[in-house]
Amino acid sequence: MRFFVKPLLFYNKGVLRPVSNRPSAIPFREAAAFWLKLGLISFGGPAGQIAIMHQELVERRRWVREPDFLHALNYCMMLPGPEAQQLATYLGWLMHGRWGGIVAGGLFVLPALVILVALSWIYVRFGQQPIIAALFYGIKPAVVAIIFHACWRIGKRTLHHPMLMALAAAAFVGIFFLQLPFPLIIFAAGVMGWLGAHYRPAIFSPVHQQENDPPPTATTGSLRASPLRSLAYGVVLWAVPMLALLWWFGGEHVFSQMAWFFTKAALLTFGGAYAVLPYVQQAAVDHYAWLSANQMIDGLALGETTPGPLIMVVVFVAYLGGYGSQVWGEAGSALAGTTAALITTWFTFLPSFLFVLLGAPIIEKTRGIGKVTGPLTAITAAVVGVMVNLGVYFAQWSIFANQTLDIYTLLVSLVALLLLVKQWLGVIPLIAVSALAGVIYRLVF
pLDDT of res. 372: 60
The 10 Å CB-count burial string (b at 16+, else e) for 236-260 is eebeeebeebeeeeeeeebbbbbbe
**Model confidence pLDDT, tens digit, residues 145-182:** 877 887 887 787 778 788 889 988 998 898 888 878 76
Query: What is the overall mean pLDDT for the chain?
Result: 79
pLDDT of res. 238: 95
**Model confidence pLDDT, tens digit, residues 11-29:** 333 333 333 333 457 899 9
Is the pLDDT at 352 greater than 70? The verdict is yes
Q: Residue 118, Cβ neighbours under 10 Å: how many?
A: 12
pLDDT of res. 198: 76
Which of 74, 73, 66 is closest to 374 using CA atoms?
74
pLDDT of res. 88: 94
Q: Can you give the length of the chain in residues?
A: 445
Percent pLDDT > 70 in the chain is 81
Give the residue with greater pLDDT, 75 vs 107.
Answer: 107
Q: What 3-state DSSP class applies to 311?
A: helix
pLDDT of res. 36: 92
Is the pLDDT at 336 greater than 80? The verdict is yes
Q: What 3-state DSSP class applies to 12?
A: strand
pLDDT of res. 340: 96
pLDDT band of 272, cuts 50, 70, 90: low
pLDDT band of 213, cuts 50, 70, 90: very low
Q: Which of 260-264, 284-288, 303-307, 382-386 has the lowest mean pLDDT?
A: 303-307
Q: Which of 72-81, 354-363, 431-440 has the lowest mean pLDDT?
A: 72-81
pLDDT of res. 20: 33
CA atoms of 29 and 443, how far apart (whole Å) = 42
Taking residues 197-222, what's their average pLDDT?
Answer: 57
Q: Hey, which of 72-86, 102-116, 151-165, 274-288 has the most confident mean pLDDT?
A: 102-116
CB 431 within 8 Å of CB 127: no
What Å distances lie between residue 374 and 239, 259, 329, CA to CA? 38, 38, 58
Q: What 3-state DSSP class applies to 24?
A: coil
Which of 313, 240, 321 is closest to 279 using CA atoms?
313
pLDDT band of 210, cuts 50, 70, 90: very low
pLDDT of res. 98: 87
Q: Hey, which of 39-43, 79-83, 203-207, 262-266 has the most confident mean pLDDT?
A: 262-266
Is the pLDDT at 2 greater than 70? The verdict is no
Q: Which amino acid, residue 246?
A: L
pLDDT band of 104, cuts 50, 70, 90: very high
β partners of residue 11: 16
Percent pLDDT > 90 in the chain is 24
Give the residue with greater pLDDT, 398 vs 260.
Answer: 260
DSSP H helices in 78-161: 83-126, 130-158
pLDDT of res. 200: 78
CA atoms of 272 and 53, how far apart (whole Å) = 17
Q: Which amino acid, residue 47?
A: A
Which of 187, 33, 56 is closest to 111 using CA atoms?
33
Taking residues 240-260, what's their average pLDDT?
Answer: 94
| Its pTM surpasses 0.75 | no
Q: Hey, which of 110-119, 285-294, 366-375 has the most confident mean pLDDT?
A: 110-119
State the number of CA atoms in the 13 A half-sphere of 346 facing the CB: 19
**Model confidence pLDDT, tens digit, residues 287-335:** 898 988 778 767 776 776 678 887 888 999 999 999 988 888 888 899 9
Q: What 3-state DSSP class applies to 201?
A: coil
Taking residues 386-401, what's their average pLDDT?
Answer: 77
Element (H, E) at 16: strand 15-19
Q: Residue 400, Cβ neighbours under 10 Å: how many?
A: 13
CA atoms of 125 and 289, how far apart (whole Å) = 19
What Å distances lie between residue 276 and 267, 271, 302, 357, 398, CA to CA? 11, 7, 16, 22, 20
What Å distances lie between residue 163 and 166, 167, 169, 188, 377, CA to CA? 5, 6, 10, 14, 12
Taking residues 31-60, what's their average pLDDT?
Answer: 83
pLDDT of res. 276: 67
